Amino acid sequence: MVRPSGTTQWFDPAERCPATPWAAPYNDRAMRPDYTTARLSGWGRTAASSARTARVATDELAEHVKSATGRGVILRGLGRSYGDPAQNSGGTVLVLGGSVDEVVIDDETGVVTCPAGVSLHDLLRRVVPRGWFVPVTPGTRFVTVGGAVASDIHGKNHHFEGSFGNHVHSLRLMLADGTVRTIGPDQEPRLFWATVGGMGLTGAILDVRFSLLPIETSVCRVETTRCRNLDELLAEMAHGDENHRYSVAWVDLLARGRRGGRSVLWRGDHARLDEVDERRRLDPLSYAPRHLASVPPVVPSSGFVNSTTSALFNELWFRKEPRRPARAMKSIPSYFHPLDAIGGWNRLYGRGGFVQYQFVVPFEREDALREVVRRVVSSRLASPLIVLKRFGPGNPGPLSFPMEGWTLTVDMPAARDGSGPLLHALDAIVLEAGGRHYLAKDAHTTPEAIRRGYPHLDEWLAIRREVDPDRLWQSDLARRLELVA
C-alpha cells in the first residue's frame, strides 16, 4: 500500500502544494487502517463532500472494491474535473497508482500502453523527447490517462482528430464483480464506447493502449489573429481552421458595445525540424515545462476575480497581441497548458469557488451561441477564462460530449448573486438549440437537462445495468444526475 505523503495531506504534483485535505483516519476498528476520511471537491472547489479514501495499486484494487460500503466506490485521478464526478459522499474514493516506468512505447508504430493512473504530465516527459506527442490534450496536462478516457477529453484539435477515445485501441476494465475484460472499438464495442465518456461508472480502467502523434520538434508554429467582435471570429474560424491541426480562441465577455466579443485566435501546428532556428535544432525535442508560481493556500474569502479585475486583465490580454496576424514559435507547455505554470490558480476565486460552464451547439445554431454570449456579457459575471473552439464529428460514445458545432467555455465565480438563475437560463437556450453540456465540467445541471442533451442515455443506462446490476460504481455526479438508475 502506498500512503499519501505524511499523514494528513495529499500533494498534487500539478500545484506543488497541498491540494486535497486528508483528515485523520476513521476510528471505526472494522475499517482498514490504510483508509482516511477526506473532504473532496472538484477543481471548481464547489459542493465538497466526505468519503473514505485510499491510494491503491492495481493488484490491490479488486480487494478494495469488494470492501466498498452501500454508497459504492469511484476512482479519482488528479481531481481536475471541475464538478463532482470524482467525489462519493459517504462512500469510497480510490486513487489508482501507476508509474511512468510501466509505460510501454512501440517506437515503430507509435502505440503506447499506459497504466490508467499515469498523468499526461508524466507521459509527455517520457514521449516528447522520443519524438511523440499525445493524440489529444485538454488545457491541463495534469489529468490521468484513465481520466482522459472516462471524460473522453477533447482539445484544440477536435475539428481535426476528434476526442481521446477515437485514438484508443483497447483498454482493460475491472467490472464490479472483480473480473477484468479487455475491450476496444473492435472487442466488446458496446461496453467500450459506454466507458469512453462514461465518467468511471462502468468500471475501473486499469490501463489503456492508444496511438501517439509523431512530431519532429517540441515547439509549435502558432498564428495569432485579433478579431474585433464575435461575428468576425466565427467567420475566421469557419474558413481557416481546416488549415491547422490546432485552433482555440479567447473571447472577452466583459467588453460591451463595438468591442463586445473581441477575441484572440491562436491556430497552431507542430513545427518541422526545418522550420526552427539553429539553436533549437541542437536539441529539437527538449521538453522542460516550467512552474512559475503558486497561488497562496489562503486568499481573501471573496477571491481576486471580479468584474473590475477581470475587465482590466482582458484589456491587457487583448492589447498584448499584435494588431495584424502574426506567426511565432511557442513551446508545447506555453501553447497547450499555459495555466499549468501557476499552481493552485483555482484558489483565485476565493472560498466560494467557481463554475466552468461548457456547452456545444450545432453549427447552424450560431443564434443560440450569440444569445448565450449576450446574456453572459449583460450579467458581468464572466471571468477572463473564456474559450471558444470548433468540434468535428463526434464518436459512438453515448455520453461522449463532443459533437459537430461550437463549444464555449465560461468560468464564473460560483458564489456571485445571479449566477444560478443565469446558468439555468443558459441551459434552456443550449438545449432548445439541440446542444448539450460536458459532464466533466458540470456542477449545476439537472437530470432533465442531461437526458435532453444526450439522446442515447437510455442505451448507456442499459449497458451500465448489465455490468453493474448492484450499482457499485457511484459518485456524487451520478446520483445528482440520476445516472445510477
Least confident piece of the model among 291-295, 401-405, 473-477: 291-295
Instruction: Determine contact, residues 116/99, Cβ cutoff 8 Å.
Output: no
Which pLDDT score, from 0 to 100, does residue 323 have?
85
The percent of residues above 70 in pLDDT, for the chain, comes to 93
| Cα separation, 158 vs 87, whole angstroms | 28
Looking at the predicted structure, is the pLDDT value of residue 459 above 80? yes
Grid coordinates given for 188: 466488446
The percent of residues above 90 in pLDDT, for the chain, comes to 85
Shortest CA distance to 203 belongs to which of 366, 51, 94? 94
Looking at the predicted structure, is the pLDDT value of residue 8 above 70? no
Residues in CB range of 222: below 8 A, 6 or more apart: 266, 267, 268, 327, 328, 329, 330, 335
Give the burial string for 206-216 (b: 16+ CB within 10 Å, else e). bbbbbbbbebe
Shortest CA distance to 358 belongs to which of 139, 137, 40, 116? 139
Instruction: Determine contact, residues 213/137, Cβ cutoff 8 Å.
Output: no
Residues in CB range of 179: below 8 A, 6 or more apart: none
Looking at the predicted structure, is the pLDDT value of residue 228 above 50? yes
For Cα atoms 330, 334, 338, give the angle at the middle one, nearest 5 degrees.
155
Looking at the predicted structure, is the pLDDT value of residue 14 above 50? no
Least confident piece of the model among 139-148, 255-264, 365-374: 255-264
Which pLDDT score, from 0 to 100, does residue 33 have?
42
Average pLDDT over residues 47-67: 94
Average pLDDT over residues 335-358: 96
Average pLDDT over residues 26-34: 43
Which pLDDT score, from 0 to 100, does residue 194 have?
98
Least confident piece of the model among 105-119, 353-367, 407-421, 444-458: 407-421
pLDDT tens per residue, range 304-319 = 999 999 999 999 999 8
pLDDT tens per residue, range 100-153 = 999 999 999 999 999 999 999 999 999 999 999 999 999 999 999 999 999 999
Which pLDDT score, from 0 to 100, does residue 407 have?
98
| Cα separation, 411 vs 378, whole angstroms | 15
| Cα separation, 118 vs 210, whole angstroms | 14
Confidence of residue 485 (pLDDT cuts 50, 70, 90): confident
Q: What is the pTM of this model?
A: 0.92
Confidence of residue 468 (pLDDT cuts 50, 70, 90): very high
Counting every residue written for the chain, the total comes to 485
Looking at the predicted structure, is the pLDDT value of residue 32 above 70? no
Which pLDDT score, from 0 to 100, does residue 21 have?
35
Average pLDDT over residues 361-386: 96
Which pLDDT score, from 0 to 100, does residue 67 have?
87
Q: How remote is the C-alpha of 57 from its chain's centroid?
A: 24
Confidence of residue 20 (pLDDT cuts 50, 70, 90): very low
- Full set of structural domains in the chain with CATH: 100-215 (3.30.465.10), 219-445 (3.40.462)
Confidence of residue 6 (pLDDT cuts 50, 70, 90): very low
Looking at the predicted structure, is the pLDDT value of residue 25 above 80? no
Which pLDDT score, from 0 to 100, does residue 9 have?
32
Instruction: Determine contact, residues 401/454, Cβ cutoff 8 Å.
Output: no
- Does 9 or 463 have the greater pLDDT score? 463
Q: Is 411 helix (H, G, I), strand (E, B) or coil?
A: strand
Which pLDDT score, from 0 to 100, does residue 242 have?
93
Give the burial string for 233-251 (b: 16+ CB within 10 Å, else e). bbebbeeebeebbbbbbbb
Backbone φ, ψ for residue 391 (5° rounding) = -100, 145
How much is the mean pLDDT over the chain? 91
